[in-house]
Each structure stands twice: as structure tokens, then as C-alpha cells.
Structure 1
Amino acid sequence: MSAKLKYATDLEKSVLINNFEKRGWSQVSADEDWNFYWTNVNTTRNIFSLENGYRLSDDQIINHYPNHYELTRKDLMVKNIKRFRKDLDKEGHPLAEKDETGRYIHLDSIPVTFLLPADYNLFVEEFRKNPSSTWIMKPCGKARGIGIFLINKLSQIKKWSRDSRTSSFAPPSARDAYVISRYIDNPLLIGGKKFDLRLYVLVTSYRPLKCYIYRLGFCRFCTVKYTQSMNELDNMFVHLTNVSIQKHGEEYNPVHGGKWTISNLRLYLEGTRGKVVTDKLFDEIHWEIVMSLKAVSGTMANDRHCFEVYGYDIIIDDKLKPWLIEVNASPSLSSTTANDRIMKYNLVNDTLNIVIPTGELPDVRWNKVPPKEAYGHYDLLYDEELANQQELAASGSGGASGSSTERDSRSRGLLAGVGGIRGRDHSRSRAPATWK
């Protein structure tokens, strides 16, 4: 008889504990020998710190990558995506193609964004090109809508400036670091209200990249109808979709929690905009998610003991263009409604079935290829190893090289060459990548 799996957790959430107990796992403290640890990000930092000297064994797995913040901290995500685009541009990679205005055709996933205080002068230059624009400021190290505000005048951020005459900031500190992004002031509205998407993405490996997307994501709605009125710039019930903010609004509905399922959104869009454009929208969203993961794959510590479930926040504008807003390392497992609790229970259940498909003691030496019946509500989003195998098979069959059609098309096969952009020949033809 196999040994019983021992788990530890920092989060006493019912959706976690019920899943662990259902499998017959036994709970131990973090100081004891554990096989599976669902931690918060601070515990993960301590476990992997050099000072700690802790070494994980082959039968231990944990739910965060050591430097997940390369993706989940707002300023680092922006830095990594910009660097990724720049590297591809230097390589002459087809993905870095730009239009006549200099905008990336395939990699235009985030709004124009600057880091403050470092990029203040660059921001001012951009702001003055379009002084009627609205911008949103967010503290880099906070979540749940804390510390966010909108501006439409330079004078509104002079308080961040040490000397307004030179427009230079005081020396930065992590506490004061902000990102400032062009505000998406033309969001797609439903019932006159702004909303965003919360999508769950499971990553089991960064090199090669292997990721899954959860079908049961949801939309979060504001409680007050959207307006571009300057008088409402400070009204967060109009502009911020965070449940932690909206639940304090007078119009908040505790039954549905101001949420729609992704499947309901698809039905609505197919009915109002058509199936073709709806499918294209979700394909674009999936593309942006994979590109963001590829942007950090080179810097992420690809520890084989780790997996991670990210909460992706996406906003769709009225032209059905999706924008990646941010990525959360610890998406909330608290439940605001009965449906919310069921969905999050299933999310944890399906995640465990993929990362420990046998339900028995983990072994990090396994090939991380779970049986398809273990996917549950997950879909395989991208498997880089499989894509590279397909690419090799196609190149071995004598495919044409470097055709103009290939460069002009938005072929998913281009992904196969993104992983190792240094030292690889990107002029070769691309086989179709494994796509959901």
C-alpha cells in the first residue's frame, strides 16, 4: 500500500481543505515533512531564499515558482514584455512586425505603460502628444485595487515629483514605485457597465512552456454605469472592477456578486457580434496569455518542484481588442457567492488532478504529461515541447523556407521559435504549433 500524501497549507480555505481531505491526504505543519504545500507568496520566498538553505526533495511540490513576481509584479511584467519584444525585434523575428505607425502587430497586448519614477520624463513626453488622454496609476506591489487612481492632468502627479521645474522624481523606493498606463477609456460595455475578465492559467513548466487555461473563468462588473465624464474620474465604482471595491457599492448584488461566467459572455457576444469575431477575440486573448508567459520564461526559475495558478485580468475595448492588465500570483480563493465557491472548488480539484494525476506521492522526475481525462475543466493552451516536435517533423518533410506568406500570416507556428530566440534561425518555416 502506498504511503499517504502529507500536505501543508498557509491558507485555511474550505475549497482547499475539502479537496485535500477528499483525497485522503493528511495535514501536517510546515515544519514537518510534507509532500504538497499550498503556500502564500511570502512562504515561498522564505523556502527558496539562499539564507534558508532549504532543499526540496523529489517527493515535494509547491504552488509558486521562486520568482513568480517577474510576471505578477506590475512593473516587472511590463519590463519583461518590453524586453521580449525588443529581443524579437533585434532578431528580425516575424512576431516583431510593426505597422506603419510603429505599433506591434502581433505583440500589442498591453496599454502604453511607463514605470514611475524611472520613466517620468518619457511619460510626460507621451502625455503631451495627447493632453486630453486619461491615465491610470497603480502601485507596483499592491493588489485588490488598493492605491489606484486616474489622472488627466500633469499637475495631478506633481506630488510624485521632487522638483516640478525639472520634472524629475525623488529617488525611487519599492514602496513608492508605480506604473502608469494609458487608460482604456473605450471599454466594451454590457448594460452600460464596464467589466473585465478573470481567467485562470496553470503553468506546470516554463522551459519548455506548458500551460493550461481554465474554461470556468468569469467577468467582473462595475456596479455603476460607465461614463467618461471628468467629474467621475474619482468614482471607483465606475472604473475599477475589483470585487473588493464593488462589494461596498450600493448597487452590489450579493446573489450573483456582479459576475458573469465566460460561457455567458461568449453567448452574448456571439448573439450580438457573431461567432466568427467572438472566436477571434478569445483566440487573441489566448495568444496574449502565451506571449506573456514566453516573455518571462527566460528569467523564471523553472524549478521542477513548482507549478502555479495565475489569475489573468483582461479588459476588452469596444473594438473587441483585448488588453492584458495584470497577472495575479495568488488569485482569491474566497467565495462571494455559492457559484463562486463551486467554481473555485473545481478549480483546485482540476489543478490537483493535473499536477498530481495519481493522487499519490508526487515525483518531480515525471514527464509532466497528465492523461487527458485529468484535465477536467482545463484545456491545454500551449505545449512548447510538442510544438517543437511538430516543427522538426515539418522541416524534415522539406517545407518551404522563409516565404513571404509565412511572414505576413499570424501563424501560431511562429510560437515554436519564440522560446529560444537567442542563437536560433528564425528564417526557417514554422510548423503549426500546438494550440488549444
Structure 2
Amino acid sequence: MTRHYWMGGNRSYEQDRFFEASLDKAQWQRAKSAEDWQACWYTGMPGPEYFEKVGPERKINHIPGNNVLTVKSRLYRSVMDLKDRVQRQEKGVGPRTRRLDFMPHVYSMPEDYHYFQQAAWENPEKRWLLKPKNASKGKGIRLVDDPANVPMDASWLIQEYLEHPHTMHGRKYVLRLYVLVSSVTPFRVYVYHQGFAKLASLPYNDENASNPYSYLTNPDINALNLEAEVPVEFVDFDRYRAWLREQGHDDQALFARIDDAVALTCLAAQEPMRERCRAIGADPRGCYELMGIDCLIDEDLKPWVLECNLSPSLEVCAGPESGGRIEETIKGGLVADLVELVGLNRPIKGEPDQSPEQQVIQQTREELSRSGGFRNLIPGVAPSRYLPYMALPRLEDWVLAQSLSGKPLPQPAMERWVAEEMVTDEQVLLYDTRLGHFSALNETASVIWLMATEGAGPDAIASTLLESALHTQAGPPDAWPIRQQVWDTLADWAGNRFLVQASDSQFGDGQGEQAAREERPQLPVTWLSTVLQSGRAMVRLQVDSMPLREYIHPMIERFHVTEHPAPDSLPELCIVRDAPGYTMILDGEVVVSRRPLSAMSEALFTCLMREAPGPGDIAMDASVLLMPGVAGQTVMVAAGGQGLQESLSSALQATIGRGLLLGAYDRVEPLATPATGGSCFVSAILIPAPLPQNPTTRIVARRLTVGEVLQHMLPICCGVGGRPLSAGEFTALSSWVEARECWLVDCREPGAAAEVLENIVKTGGGHHDFARLEG
């Protein structure tokens, strides 16, 4: 009988060709539509409609719920959820919990924004990687230059940067492993015997660690390094392991640790995959998943799982002389072995004449016999090794583990976790202490719950239900469905954290439940309460975050009241953590909301400047240069002159301040300078020159008219409460500007401009011709 295959998604010839070549041409033809197929090879994640008719005879290369691994932020959360459960089983950090320490810390935006800011403040020497949550091929990855500037939107995450990677020939590398989940129930996981060390194209050291060609190993990134002799280099595992042995390392010990990390990573997805299959009505027997897991090896030869890739690239990335030929051979063999393992080229069998238990064992043994280059991790050579990491083994997992172990295994026992019970005459009532949910159990579920919480194992509970059925049914009951109901019910409760597997005596550190990690540790609250003065106003500033307190400290110091006692009753200016970012509230009114840390110094200054003017005053948001050796004289640089003020302050050794308050009688007070207080005289107003259309022209300085200056000044001026200037204030500002030296200055010529400015200040004004330099 001819069967049909369909290839869809974000397709390319390179992604499809190995799959198509591996199918038996005598059995398979390409389908004419996306509805008529018995095998689907889909690059990317298909929609739920693709899973409607999957089953043992209609298979697709994806498992619903795989995004708990293949979305970067969810991968970390999934492994941490598994770690929480195991730590709860051990009642502290024991050997099983420590086996899960293989992932760098991840902060998912926006919910982890403040946790990241706290971590960055507590670890100022640590570096972090900014990554898009759902991108591939290294797109968008970069080192965080300033933690205060990280984006807060939901498409980003921050990952701890591992500072001391193991290097090969001086270059950083990441191992690409090909991992196959062939079955959800029972859970079967394989890793391919071959893979690649993907090398960066530049040597790794502290000096060039910020160069993407040094710290990123993605071939798509390094292919852009045109200066590298070999921009993309893949080293297959045979050569990599031989090189490790040459360096005196134990390659078998390393790959045993890698296998364990990979198996545990996949176990974190077992229950989410089962639940998603159930939710969309997919038969998991028709689903399998090939993933590309990237591991970094540190200088202590410890493996770290970095990410798990959906539909890993099957393109040949390396050149022929830098691993490309071997890469093609490995990827072709990988897909051919996958097609054989999942049985696509096997004839369709009829209904088996076996019990469900025999079917589970027989199907697994047949799959293991045709695994080719895939090495089985779960159930593996020691099936009981991974049973404690399941919320609770399903019945299929249990009977398979017992069969492959060749000996009886002790039944798992259960303990209460987040559920409280109330037993009435009619039923058992359960209350979820974590979510606040309440449920009433039926008669069978009540028996299962009560027996499980009293220490009975699943099969003992099933025997009780089976005995009861013998007295209530006309014929002999089928034991397998009853056993399956008990195991599934207990596993579902364990997945919801109502129950947890009880630890045995050889594990745990005896510290009790209080040793287990909290669901979400509380951020420390560090209140700062201080009085700030800005012009005519005083406010009491309060903040609740140490990272925020440190970030705005330079601004606070310039407004801080130190000499005079402040009144007891002052307007309150509060800056508090929000979800995400920070919100500023002045006397109960929101000034700004959900701004990133990097925006808070500017927001604080703007708020204080708006509060600074009294009646008749004008606040000006401009830079101020305090000239050395010229007492009481300042130069004002209008908005937009950041580069100009910095270059001039360096050339003239001037102190920089910000903000002026113009009062009656042309009295001017600085708002925020290192030496706030006292009046000063503004000698000149400088406006930064826009870049000329002719790049050969250099304007050093040119006198401006009052109208030209006001065009620049009005947008940066305000009256009481931040309102626009009144007619009288506009007139006062115009008169004040008219009495100043006003110049357009080219900040590309700081030396020449400084000479002009110094002459203006020393002479107190006068006539100066503008200077022009021809390039």
C-alpha cells in the first residue's frame, strides 16, 4: 500500500532533503495537499489542526507542548519547576537536586525585571546576555552594556553569562546535540551518538569577550566574519572526544554528565507535553520531536544547557575543508536513523494479540532494536534512575522500568504538598493553598486520595478498587484500566502539586520543608527617605529599591538638603517598583509610570525642575558650565548640546551642572550642580549648531539674534507647575536673552570654540566676528 508524506512550514531544500531521501520510495509518495498524508515533516511548529488525526499510523515530527523547552525563557522555568519539586521531595538540597544545577540563570521580561536589576546590583562584576525569547541562529543576542538599559517588553530575556568557557584551540565552543523524544507515554528519550562542537571564529579572552565573533558560536553569526581564515568550523564528536583524550581529559565522564543533563531537561517537559496533547485532542502515539540542544562546557569540564532548538538546522554550514563533508554525512545519517527508529519505513501491523502491558514492553524493545546511532537515555540502562524526577511515573513508565530492570521496584509513595483536605460523610474536599481553588472528589477519587496520603502505593490502591469491583460488577473487571486510572489520577495530582513523591531515607539533608526554595523569593525592600530642594520647592523623596537608589544617587546628591532642617510636612515624591519598571508618584498623582531604570534620573530631574519655579520664576532645562577662575560666571548650553557641553567643559576645565532658575531682577540660580546654591551671572548662551549640508564647512561660532535663541529656549522653559510661560514671563525671558552674548557653536571644533567662549567670558561681551574654517 502506497503512503503519502507532506513537507511544510518554513521549508528549505536543505531542511527537507535528508528526510525525503530516507523514506522508502517503494512505500512513499509525496502528498498533493496538506490534508492527505501519513507522515508529516514540518519545519517550525504546525498549528493544532495538524494533530487532529495523528496516531500510530499517521505521524508528525512534533509534540504539542514542546515550547516549554524550545522557547528560551520557558526552558529555564520548566527546569526550575522540576528542581523545585525534587527539592521538595528531598526536603532540602540533596544529590538529586544538585544534578539539576546545569542551567545559567535566566530572567524573563517583564515579570523578572526587578529580580534582574537586583541581581545586577548585587553582582556588579557579572556580565549578562540579552536574548530574544523566540529567535534562532543567534539573531539579536548581545552582551548587556548597562543593566539599567535592558528592554522590559515580553520578547526579551536576560541570561547569566558564563565567564570561563572551556576552549578548543583557544576558541570558545558550544556542543550541538541532537535529541529525540520518540514517545510521551511511556517517556522515551534518545541522544544521537554524533554531533558537533561549533567554534567561534576569534580567540576567546577577557579583552575581546565583547566581540560577537569571540563569544558567540552560532554559524550564522560567524559566517559574517570576513577577516577569519575559517569563519565557520564544526568539529564532529569523534574528533572532539579524541582531542579531549589528547588533552588528558576523561571524555566518557564528560559525556555521561551531558547525557544526564539532557535527560533531565527533557523530563521537565513530560507532563506539559502530555497535558497539551490532551487539551488539543492529539494522540501522542503519532508524535515525536527532534531537538537541537546546545551545551557549553566550562573550564572545569562541567556541561551547561544553554538552549533547546525546535526543528534544528539540517543545512550544511561549514565549508568542505572545515568540517562540511563530515557535517553532511552526520546530518544525513541522523535523519535516516530517525526515520528508522520511529518506524516510518516499517510495514503497518494489525491489532496486536497482547495485553496492554505486553504491548508497552514489546513496542519499546522493538524501538530500541532499531535505534541505530541513537543512544537511549530514558528509560535507559538504569530505568529507576529517572523515575523520581517524574511528577509520578505513568503506569506505562512503571511497567517498562520494571521489565527493563529485570527486578521488582519499590512502589512510589506520595505526600501532600499544596492541598489541604476536609473529609465529610459523603466525600473528600480539597483546597489548593497555592491558587485558592476548591474541588470535591467523587467516591473513587476520594478512596485514591485517602489511601495515597496514608502511604499506600498506586498498585495497592488499584488492588483495593479491583476487589471492590469484583463485588459490584457482573463479570470479572479488567485490571489494566483500573491500574491506569489510579496511576494517572495520582500523576495528575502530582503535576498540579497536590501531591509529591515521598523521598526515601538515603536522600535529603534532613533540613525539613523550610529548606525548600520559595516559589518566588521576595525582593528586598530598602527604603530611602531624604529631603530634596529644587528652587523654591522642597519634597521628601522615598524609594524602595537599592538598584534604583544607587542609580539616581548622583542626581539626589545635587538636590539633597544638608544644612537646614526641613519642615515636617512636605510633598511626598515616591518612586516604587512597578510591573515592570518604576512608577513616580508626587502627592498621590502619577508623574511617570512603568519606566525602565535608565529613565529614572531624567524623570526625577524633570519632576524637580517642574516644581522649582515660584510665582514669576522661569525654570530652564539647560546645561551649565561653571568657569574656573571666573567667580560667579556661568555659561548656559541649550538643550541638545550634550556633546558640546562635554567637549567645552573638557577644554576649559569647567564644572558641569544642569538647570537654571531665572527670577526677578535677572537673578539666576543653578538647580543641580556639584555646588548648588547662590546666584550666578550667565555670560553667554550657546546653541549647538546643526550639521551643515556641506560637510567641508566648519562654523566655529556665529552670533545669534534674540528670535533665533528663543526658538531654542522656549521648549526648555516652564513656569509654576511646569506650565508654559505666561505673557509676562515671555517678555522677561526675551529681555534677559537680549542682554546675553548668544552664539551658535560647532561642537566638532571644541578647541576653537573654547577660545571664542573664553574670550567672551573674560571680556564680558563685546563684538566678535564669527569664524569659518573651510575644509
TM-score for the superposition, normalised by structure 1: 0.79
Matched, 1:387 2:362: no
Letter in 2 for 1:346: G
Secondary structure, aligned partner of 1:39? strand
Task: Give the drift of 1:46.
Answer: 4.4
Residue number among 312, 333, 340 corresponding to 1:346 in the alignment:
333
Separation (CA, whole Å) in 2 of partners of 1:396 and 1:57:
33
Contact 2:178 / 2:291 at 8 angstroms: preserved in 1? yes
Secondary structure, aligned partner of 1:393? coil
Separation (CA, whole Å) in 2 of partners of 1:15 and 1:362:
26
Letter in 2 for 1:211: V
| Greater C-alpha Rg | 2
Matched, 1:427 2:420: no
Structure 2 spans left out of the alignment, 5+ residues: 278-283, 318-323, 353-358, 384-396, 412-489, 508-775
Please name the residue that 1:238 is paired with: 214
- The structure-2 alpha-carbon separation of the partners of 1:58 and 1:259, relative to structure 1 and needing over 3 Å to count, comes to closer
Residue number among 302, 319, 323 corresponding to 1:321 in the alignment:
302
Q: CA RMSD in A?
A: 2.9
Separation (CA, whole Å) in 2 of partners of 1:23 and 1:137:
49
Task: Give the drift of 1:429.
Answer: 7.4
Task: Give the drift of 1:298.
Answer: 1.2
Contact 1:139 / 1:148 at 8 angstroms: preserved in 2? yes
* 1:300-348 CA distance string (max 9 Å, x none): 1351210011101000000111100000111011123232222111111
Contact 1:68 / 1:300 at 8 angstroms: preserved in 2? yes
Q: Which moved more, 1:351-360 or 1:420-429?
A: 420-429
* 1:102-128 CA distance string (max 9 Å, x none): xx5221010122112211111111122
Contact 2:45 / 2:62 at 8 angstroms: preserved in 1? no
Separation (CA, whole Å) in 1 of partners of 2:263 and 2:38:
29
Separation (CA, whole Å) in 2 of partners of 1:346 and 1:23:
20
Task: Give the drift of 1:6.
Answer: 1.5
Task: Give the drift of 1:145.
Answer: 0.5
- The structure-2 alpha-carbon separation of the partners of 1:22 and 1:340, relative to structure 1 and needing over 3 Å to count, comes to farther
TM-score for the superposition, normalised by structure 2: 0.46
Q: Which moved more, 1:130-139 or 1:336-345?
A: 336-345
Please name the residue that 1:97 is paired with: 94
Please name the residue that 2:586 is paired with: none
Q: Trace 1:23-172 onto structure 2 (pairs within 5 A).
A: 24-48=27-51, 54-56=52-54, 58-92=56-90, 96-97=93-94, 104-157=97-150, 160=151, 169=152, 172=153
Letter in 2 for 1:76: R
* 1:362-415 CA distance string (max 9 Å, x none): 889974423545222111122153434467934479xxxxxxxxxxxxxxxxxx
Secondary structure, aligned partner of 2:99? coil
Please name the residue that 1:6 is paired with: 4
Q: Which moved more, 1:39-48 or 1:78-87?
A: 39-48
Matched, 1:281 2:277: no
Please name the residue that 1:410 is paired with: none
Residue number among 277, 291, 311 corresponding to 2:292 in the alignment:
311
Letter in 2 for 1:375: S
Name the structure, 1 or 2, with higher relative contact order (CA <8 Å, separation 6+).
1
Please name the residue that 2:164 is paired with: 186
Separation (CA, whole Å) in 2 of partners of 1:149 and 1:309:
27
How many positions carry a matched residue from both structures? 377
Structure 1 spans left out of the alignment, 5+ residues: 49-53, 161-168, 398-418, 431-436
Contact 1:134 / 1:182 at 8 angstroms: preserved in 2? yes
Task: Give the drift of 1:78.
Answer: 1.0
Contact 1:4 / 1:24 at 8 angstroms: preserved in 2? yes
Please name the residue that 2:670 is paired with: none
Q: Which moved more, 1:119-128 or 1:317-326?
A: 119-128
- The structure-2 alpha-carbon separation of the partners of 1:258 and 1:45, relative to structure 1 and needing over 3 Å to count, comes to farther
Contact 1:59 / 1:362 at 8 angstroms: preserved in 2? no
Separation (CA, whole Å) in 1 of partners of 2:100 and 2:146:
29
- The structure-2 alpha-carbon separation of the partners of 1:291 and 1:222, relative to structure 1 and needing over 3 Å to count, comes to same
Q: Which structure's residues are more often strand, by fraction?
A: 2
Q: Which moved more, 1:260-269 or 1:334-343?
A: 334-343
Please name the residue that 2:583 is paired with: none
Matched, 1:334 2:411: no
